[in-house]
Amino acid sequence: MQKFMIHIKTEQEIEKMKEGGKILAEILKKLSDAVKPGITTSELDKLARELISSCGAEPSCLGYNGYPAALCTSVNDEIAHAIPSDRILKEGDLLKLDIGVLHKGFHTDSATTILVGGKEDKEKIKLLNVTKEALNIGISKSKAGNTLGDIGSAIQKYVEDNGFNVVRNLVGHGIGRKFHEPPQVSNYGKAGEGEELKAGWVIAIEPMVVTGDWRIKDGKDGFGFITKDGGLSAHFEHTVAIIDNGPVVLTK
Ligand code: MF3
Ligand code: CO
């Protein structure tokens, strides 16, 4: 018996997810443009809700496992899933925006990291660039015939070669009619190991990279995760379809 069922999406289903992904990319771009010192994370969530509803889509996160917002706004040592609040963003904060939308019955999921105020900070900019490139490397390995371990090991190697670490306890995932579907997409592993990727899979790849140790702990808001050692964290995510010709990034 199979341990889990991985849905193979049809071309038409992937087309719907591409529409949703394009909507999501535009929303995430507008949210990123709104980030500036002085704005609160709940103001960003309010904007996210307005943008999603004006596109005729629905927020994937709101109500998901009881999550109370449309957007995740994790700052500095917060890795993911932090709830928007009256926290005022300041110059130099490393802000992760993570968001999903439901469009025509299918979810898409994407995340980005922003250095608030854009002030030069070599370590933070390096962390941001390494994480973004780690995602690109993971996407490039997302080909039918490769394995999940090929994605994870390539991401891990690139990150560790650059002096950072990947978070182990939070993973990417299959996505479609459900926000989280099998398989789990780890950001570490061994090449050649794990399930073989098939044409028709749609997965969210989302490396979370930290400056220090990869161990995490729960945040105080009941949903967020933070680094145990107080190190900084960055996160980029795309929803990617695996088709015969290779990976297609849906959230762009
Ligand atoms: N990209 C995140 C994830 O896959 C989005 C989380 S939304 C939340 O876990 F509602 F679960 F917080
Ligand atoms: Co995700």
Cα–Cα dist 23/103, whole Å = 9
Nearest atom (ligand 1) to Cα of 179: 4
Q: What is the Å distance from ligand 2's center to 175 Cα?
A: 8
- Atom 7, ligand 1: residue with shortest CA distance: 61
- Atom 11, ligand 1: residue with shortest CA distance: 61
Q: What is the pLDDT of residue 119?
A: 79
Pocket probe mutation, ligand 1, options 45, 179, 184, max atoms within 8 Å of Cβ: 179
As for ligand 1, residues whose beta carbon falls within 6 Å of it are: 61, 64, 67, 72, 81, 98, 100, 109, 111, 173, 204, 206, 237
Task: For CA atoms 10, 29, 67, 186, give the dihedral sign.
Answer: positive
Strand segments (E) across the chain: 58-59, 71-75, 78-80, 94-103, 106-115, 165-166, 172-174, 181-185, 202-205, 208-210, 216-218, 225-227, 233-235, 238-243, 246-249
Cα–Cα dist 14/91, whole Å = 39
Q: What pTM was estimated for this model as a whole? A: 0.97
pLDDT-derived band at 3, boundaries 50, 70, 90: low
- Atom 12, ligand 1: residue with shortest CA distance: 81
Q: What is the pLDDT of residues 174-193, one digit of tens each?
A: 999 999 999 999 999 999 99
Q: What is the Å distance from ligand 1's center to 31 Cα?
A: 17
Nearest atom (ligand 1) to Cα of 72: 12
Q: What is the pLDDT of residue 120?
A: 84
Nearest atom (ligand 1) to Cα of 110: 1
Task: For CA atoms 125, 44, 80, 136, give the dihedral sign.
Answer: negative
What are the angstrom distances between the C-alpha of 56 and each of 64, 165, 246? Answer: 19, 38, 30
Query: CB neighbours (10 Å) of residue 104?
Result: 12
Nearest atom (ligand 1) to Cα of 62: 10
Q: Is the pLDDT of residue 1 over 50?
A: no
Q: What is the pLDDT of residue 118?
A: 77
CB under 5 Å of ion ligand 2: residues: 109, 204
Cα–Cα dist 212/165, whole Å = 7
Q: Is the pLDDT of residue 32 over 80?
A: yes
Q: What is the pLDDT of residues 66-100, one digit of tens each?
A: 999 999 999 999 999 999 999 999 999 999 999 99
Nearest atom (ligand 1) to Cα of 180: 4
